[in-house]
Amino acid sequence: MTGPRYTALVASLPATVPFVGPETQERERGAPFRARIGANENVFGPSPQAIAAMQAAEAEIWKYGDSTSYDLRHALAAHHGCAPENVMVGEGIDGILGYLVRLVVAPGDAVVTSDGAYPTFNYHVAGFGGALTKLPYRDDAEDLAALLDRAAELDAKLVYFANPDNPMGSMLPRDAIEALLDRIPEGTLLVLDEAYVEFAPEATAPRIAIDDPRVIRLRTFSKAYGMAGARVGYALAAAPLIAAFDKVRNHFGMNRSAQAGALAALQDHGWLEHVRAEVAQARYRITAIAAGCGLTALPSATNFVAVDCGRDGAFARRVLAELGARGVFVRMPFVAPQDRCIRISAGTPQDLDALAEALPQALAAARG
């Protein structure tokens, strides 16, 4: 008796996933975390209007969701001043990245990203057989100019660039991005991941014509809108590219209640401002807690703060483990030299009280 005959590509892939979830870690440690501030979730939650909309939609959960996400797409188009044909809704940015790679990357095609940037993108590229080239960060930030230059050398299909960046929290002002657009090589698509842009300063998002065929922008309801579990993301791009997604996307992949919740969240501007204020306050306190322990917090344009532990990655991993042992869930960058840091998501006052208690103890244990 034989099992499934995997493709040669699948057989060659490592048996790994990009992230180990906090629930898995809680099961392994046999206790819940006191503070869940590692996954860049928005602990301040979704708009009450979004919650009410999702609760109302549950009575009709027996129906499939609208396969075109018509209402949400039209609302997003109005929000961004474009046509619905320029908007595609998908299962979070993660899902959209998978569809995008499937659309344009054949086995062996070159793709360029930063070493240590969002690993889920790399996961999709590997899964479709792309040839991934990773460039180092420069001064703890992704180097867009270098990425585009390497793409020209390799005739890359895609260049991935997050602004603001995860895991370091840095951002490139929109003028700097706009100045580099003409360096996008012919036939290369710039994937501009703007998952955290709602937390960033006003002049962060570049002014790019919606019909510019060289760029696709990705946004999400997981971060500022507090709906990570609902899995709602969207892409903004030229109409022909958006239409091409219909060839590969899961047409009934969008949860009906999640669509309703995202639509209500988009319209609740007051709640978004409330979340921004809470996040700014949390970033300030994380910075103060780090400073009180003799550590340096990097400037952040996101809902998390990268904290420099002052040594190498091995030391930072010990700090991470000691925090986990004390019930505080945080994460860290994967690649040196950024792995000298730990990454702490904005939390409630109670979450940060737990951090303030645990971090000095974790540092002492890691040093010992």
pLDDT in tens, the chain (368 residues): 788 999 999 999 988 777 788 999 999 999 999 999 999 999 999 999 999 999 999 999 999 999 999 999 999 999 999 999 999 999 999 999 999 999 999 999 999 999 999 999 999 999 999 999 999 999 999 999 999 999 999 999 999 999 999 999 999 999 999 999 999 999 999 999 999 999 999 999 999 999 999 999 999 999 999 999 999 999 999 999 999 999 999 999 999 999 999 999 999 999 999 999 999 999 999 999 999 999 999 999 999 999 999 999 999 999 999 999 999 999 999 999 999 999 999 999 999 999 999 999 999 999 99
DSSP code at position 245: G
The answer to the question of residue 318 being in a domain is: yes
Record the pTM. 0.96
Claim to verify: residue 114 and residue 201 sit in the same structural domain = yes
Single residue among 233, 250, 267 that ends a domain in this structure: 267
- Shared domain for 127 and 238, answered yes or no, is yes
Q: What are φ and ψ of residue 31, in 5° steps?
A: -160, 150
Which CATH number goes with the domain that contains 294? 3.90.1150.10
Residue 200 covered by a domain: yes
The position carrying tokens 């609302």 is 75
- The alpha carbon dihedral of 29, 32, 35, 36 has a sign of positive
Tens-place pLDDT, residues 32-62: 999 999 999 999 999 999 999 999 999 999 9
Does 13 reside within a domain?
no
Same-domain status, 338 and 250 = no
Domain boundaries, position 37: 19-45+270-367
Number of domains comprising the chain: 2
Tokens read off for 197: 């842009």
Q: What is the CATH number of the domain that holds 59?
A: 3.40.640.10
**DSSP codes joined into one string, 270-337:** HHHHHHHHHHHHHHHHHHHHHHHTT-EEPP-SSSEEEEE-SS-HHHHHHHHHHHHHTTEE-B--SSTT
What pLDDT score was predicted for residue 63?
96
* Residue 251 in tokens: 């047409």
CA dist 171 and 111 (Å) reads 22
- Considering the domain architecture, whether residues 108 and 214 belong to the same structural domain is answered as yes
Domain edge (last residue) among 219, 252, 267: 267
User: Which stretch of DSSP H or E encloses residue 357?
Assistant: helix 349-367
84 and 206 assigned to the same domain: yes
CB 55, CB 358: distance < 8 Å:
no
- Report helix, strand or coil for 190: strand
Q: Which domain-ending residue is among 210, 244, 267?
A: 267
CA 315 and chain centroid, separation = 26
